[in-house]
Structure 1
């Protein structure tokens, strides 16, 4: 896969560093800038990197961080213990994520990202997965995006948000 030099430069600006293992832009902000990148299962130095989708949009990162600070992840994790249908949907999201990553390069592990499938550890990963895979794949990514619908997508999502 190739990534344009322009996209690489924008992602570097968004992250404040050179992106590592970037394979593709998996989703874009409304302004057309990268919002999610797909990363290689191994970084260029060979280090395993199980996070296939990485959220780069500074505005969306900030909004997701606010949800995390509000305790949304704990509530989501608690629901996994009581809602069997949700737990099954989340397990399917994990399996989908793992299959996509392993199709690129198997890491020999069932560890994916964001706490899947037993808990919600990083909401950023779930939002990135939901944007890359589309609605209906990652239930917690979809929920987080619904919670943020009044605030994102809007504006120039590629500009850095200062807290």
Structure 2
């Protein structure tokens, strides 16, 4: 669901107008959007494979720091060694694809072709914690590496919202 002010808040977070927004998939404890659900195809029909898009710049910064720590190398090694983890990560990939296809059907557009990437390197690589955490925030319990990385993050929202009220233009007619 998109509430009044959400599109403007996301635009302020991203520094540009968001494209293909379907819903706010997860909110920060401050109430601002943290993850948006995007359409599988942009209005002009261009494929957009990223279903869950992290928008909170404070979260993105914290995740970037975590990525720089080498955690993804460790995750990738564990993925190669642990069959049950591989199975769980493959299930996360299938969940992502299923939800993206459902969104396409709900929007009345053609689903993306079979074999189109999901997100974050799934199901064989750990490539982007931003995407994996976005999936986990949007669908709690769905992504094992997203969950693990999310638990390793500091409370990025502690010092207030990433976008201050004055940064978000208000449009009384905005409904998404």
Please list, as runs of the form range in 1=range in 2, the aligned pairs for 1:1-163 lying within 5 A after superposition.
Answer: 3-105=2-104, 106-110=111-115, 111-134=117-140, 136-148=141-153, 150-159=154-163
Secondary structure of 1:45's aligned partner: coil
Contact 2:58–2:157 (CA<8 Å) still a contact in 1? no
Contact 1:97–1:112 (CA<8 Å) still a contact in 2? yes
Which of structures 1 and 2 has the bigger CA Rg? 2
Contact 2:132–2:146 (CA<8 Å) still a contact in 1? yes
User: Whole-Å Cα distance in 2 between the matches of residues 129 and 155 of structure 1?
Assistant: 24
Q: 5+ residue gaps in structure 1?
A: none
The number of aligned residues is: 157
Q: 5+ residue gaps in structure 2?
A: 105-110, 165-176
**Alpha-carbon displacement from aligned partner over 1:31-87 (angstroms, at most 9, x marks no partner):** 100000000001122111111000011110000011111121121111111011111
Contact 1:48–1:107 (CA<8 Å) still a contact in 2? yes
Shift of 1:3: 2.9
1:109 to 1:157, Cα distance in 2 relative to 1, 3 A: farther
Q: Give the alignment's Cα RMSD to 1 decimal.
A: 1.5
More moved, 30-39 vs 110-119: 110-119
Q: TM-score, normalised by structure 2?
A: 0.84
**Structure 1 segments of 4 or more deviating over 4 A?**
none
Contact 1:36–1:131 (CA<8 Å) still a contact in 2? yes
Q: TM-score, normalised by structure 1?
A: 0.91
